[in-house]
Amino acid sequence: MLSKQLRAIIFTGLLLSLVGTLWLWILDPRTLPITAVRIEGELQNTDPHVLQAMVFKTVKGGFFNINLTAVRSTLLSNPWIKNVQIKRQWPDTLLIHVQERTAVAQWLDKALIDNEGNLLNPPKTKFISLKSNQTKMDLPRFAGPPTWAGEILKHYNLLAPRVALVGLQIREFGCNAQSRWYIVLDNGMKLRLGRGDIEIRLQRFLKVYKSRVTQSLITSGGKSLVQIDLRYTNGIAVQSTLAK
């Protein structure tokens, strides 16, 4: 009859063997292979079928041992993707929730800017929203030193609502290397704001514009307003050309 100690040793050995076999089964990529990838989230600029193909092409493994970090890195390589959350669903599915970046402006006709001030270089040369059919031509154009993208967006978010109150929109906004700011409106006017105090200077223009004085400046002598210089302390300078 086996002693109690010997039985314990045999039982432990069998248990370790069983655990080892189970572990090898789990590590085998052929065990419960991932056969379905579900993409969720509000997608406007990325095709879920393309994202599924990216996952299947670059990531291998079964339900237990698939590298979720690799899946996430693969999807984040798409410049439109901001964040990814991944869950396993028994027995063969990955549930992937994707958060896209939102383009709010063009950058020098070469890239786009998202709502956090990041520069985007999407794979398509022409930005088209899959849902709204919005092209990049509908977005305002920003210009300036690349490191200023976030600062330009910050100022734009402050100024655009004020301009909208008088029925106008900002078509182009930016600054040069000397920090001289400017705005081009959708009616063709260019506002030269200069350095510093640009909010105060814009407010001065809006006050004049709302007072209808500008209307006489625009139409006086058959002329069309082209540029307004707001860099003066207490006034503005108007440049106009003959209307066609």
Per-residue pLDDT reduced to its tens digit, 90-107: 888 999 999 999 999 999
Please check whether residue 90 is in contact with residue 63, taking contact to mean a CB–CB distance below 8 angstroms.
Answer: yes
Decide: residue 155, CB within 10 A, 0-12 exposed, 13-18 middle, 19+ buried: buried
Pairing, β 141-143 against β 103-107: parallel
User: What is the rounded distance in angstroms from the CA atom of residue 183 to the CA atom of residue 172?
Assistant: 6
36-100 homologous superfamily: membrane protein fhac (3.10.20.310)
Per-residue pLDDT reduced to its tens digit, 24-74: 555 555 667 888 999 999 998 889 999 999 998 887 778 777 889 999 999
Name the residue ranges covered by the structural domains of the chain.
Answer: 36-100, 103-242
Q: Do domains 36-100 and 103-242 have the same CATH topology?
A: no
Decide: residue 70, CB within 10 A, 0-12 exposed, 13-18 middle, 19+ buried: middle
244 residues of the chain, pLDDT tens digit each: 557 666 666 556 665 565 555 555 555 556 678 889 999 999 988 899 999 999 988 877 787 778 899 999 999 999 899 999 999 998 889 999 999 999 999 998 788 999 999 988 875 544 555 455 555 568 999 999 888 899 999 999 999 999 999 999 999 999 987 779 999 999 888 999 998 789 999 998 888 887 765 555 554 544 556 788 888 877 777 777 654 4
Residue of 238, 211, 213 whose CA lies nearest to 225: 238
Give pLDDT, residue 134.
55
User: What is the rounded distance in angstroms from the CA atom of residue 132 to the CA atom of residue 134?
Assistant: 5
CATH architecture designation of domain 103-242: 3-Layer(aba) Sandwich (3.40)
Decide: residue 168, CB within 10 A, 0-12 exposed, 13-18 middle, 19+ buried: middle
